Chains A and B, each alone.
Chain A
Amino acid sequence: MFGPLVVKPAASKGDKTGSWRLTSRPKFLQKNCIACRMCVAICPEGCVEGKEKNTFSCDYTYCKGCGLCALACPRKDIVMEEETLEGKDK
């Protein structure tokens, strides 16, 4: 037993904070997206990813449903829809 608390990044996957979502989750319509990447920048979790237009979506394992991405999208291509019990497990 040695003791210093030192952690390598690769060893950590973080908490499954997607379980925090209560009422809503973002839906990435992937229709009018211009790949401005505002959703990527604004997400407090940093769980939105994408490359070209209409390829953006989030990792629901981590998404807390705050709704900032939907408000930030200049093309309203992200909408907050109601969270369901089945949906939470996706």
Chain B
Amino acid sequence: MDNKTLFRPGHTACAGCGQVIAARLVIDAAGSNTIVVNNTGCLEVLSTRYPETAWSVPWIHSLFENAAAVASGVEAALIYLGKKDKINVIAQGGDGGTADIGLQALSGMLERGHDILYVCYDNEAYMNTGVQRSGLTPFSTNTTTSPAGSQSLGNIRPKKPLPEIAFAHGIPYVATATVGFIPDLQRKVKKAISIKGPKYIQIHVPCPLGWRHEPENTIQVGKAAVETGLYPIIEYENGKLAAVRKITPQPVEEYLKLQGRFKHLLKNPGQLKKIQEIADNNILKYGLKAEP
């Protein structure tokens, strides 16, 4: 059994970084016959600072928003060479590079039906540039461009429903996952790789620095997001919602209190109620509640 990981240590991620846990699990599940196209972001910067590279697979970084488009070109080249059946193509990036600046390229890639797995590492802000608000920043989060202050309770908008946007393109497989539940994540990557066509997986990755929690709590925070209903773990397959991870819903405070980025809310019952509504709507919409 090959013990060697394809995403090697010696990179400069923060201690306890959720994104590199996920990135390593993704590439190890995909295997060495994989070409990775990476957007600009934490993952790219921390893993490929010349002359060091953490990647044992062919890997390319171009710009912030075009991983999906570059990957489309790589896939086209592999088809031309008659090699696509043997080689996986993964395009990946953070929530910034995927949901905002990269949305156009992602949409084009999904619409054209390329055989590519797109992985979005969702740490809910532009972390690499200093924790600024993104389209996937949750409601009422304190970020550096949506800070809490005397006139504001943080981000005023809900998360962009990117899994649904991907699903609306009619692609064969869409899933959300989290580093809070690792075997589920590994299973989903393996399944996605085995399907032909465009696939989208969005992985919730806690960020100790940006979310303000201890490095050792990364997994606990990830689990709490799911168990409160704030981050539904779902799978869309064959044109419909195929599976969800059932939960025994916890009150949203159990998740929010673990992170400094929500500290301003803990004494604000009105705002907490709004967030609880978001969680309750998710639970209803996806049928997350486990039957007794």
A residues touching B (Cβ–Cβ < 8 Å)?
5, 7, 9, 11-17, 20, 38, 41-47, 49, 51, 59, 61-62, 64-68, 70-72
Contacts and interface: CB of A to CB of B under 8 A. Distances in A.
| A-B CB proximity, top 5 nearest | A14-B10, A67-B216, A62-B9, A66-B16, A64-B15
B50 interface: yes
Interface string B1-41: 10101011111110111101100110000000000000000
Interface majority SS (helix, strand, loop, mixed), chain A: loop
B3 A49 contact: yes
Contact of B215 (A5, A61, A67, A72): A67
Given A14-B9, A14-B52, A44-B20, 7 more contacts: A5-B50, A41-B25, A44-B15, A46-B24, A59-B9, A66-B15, A68-B218
B178 to A, nearest CB: 13
Contacts, number: 97
Contacts of B182: 38, 41-42
Interface residues of B, number: 34
A41 B23 CA distance: 11
B261 to A, nearest CB: 19
A46 B216 CA distance: 15
A67 to B, nearest CB: 3
A20 B53 contact: no
A68 B215 contact: yes
B56 interface: yes
Interface string B37-60: 000000000001011111110000
Given A9-B53, A12-B52, A41-B25, A62 B3 contact: no
B152 interface: no
B16 A46 contact: no
B219 interface: yes
Interface of B: 1, 3, 5, 7-13, 15-18, 20-21, 24-25, 48, 50-56, 182, 186, 214-216, 218-220
Contacts of A72: 219
Contacts of B7: 46
B51 to A, nearest CB: 6
B250 to A, nearest CB: 19
Contacts of A38: 182
Contact of A12 (B5, B20, B53, B218): B53
A12 B15 contact: no
Given A65-B15, A71-B220, A45 B9 contact: yes
A72 B57 CA distance: 28
A68 B54 contact: no
A35 to B, nearest CB: 12
Contacts of B15: 20, 44, 64-66
A7 B51 contact: yes
22 contacts: A9-B8, A14-B8, A15-B12, A16-B10, A17-B9, A38-B182, A41-B21, A41-B25, A44-B17, A46-B5, A51-B1, A51-B3, A61-B9, A62-B10, A64-B16, A66-B218, A67-B16, A67-B216, A68-B219, A71-B216, A71-B219, A71-B220
A42 B219 contact: yes
Contact of A42 (B1, B5, B21, B51): B21
B35 to A, nearest CB: 13
A62 B215 CA distance: 16
A40 B216 CA distance: 15
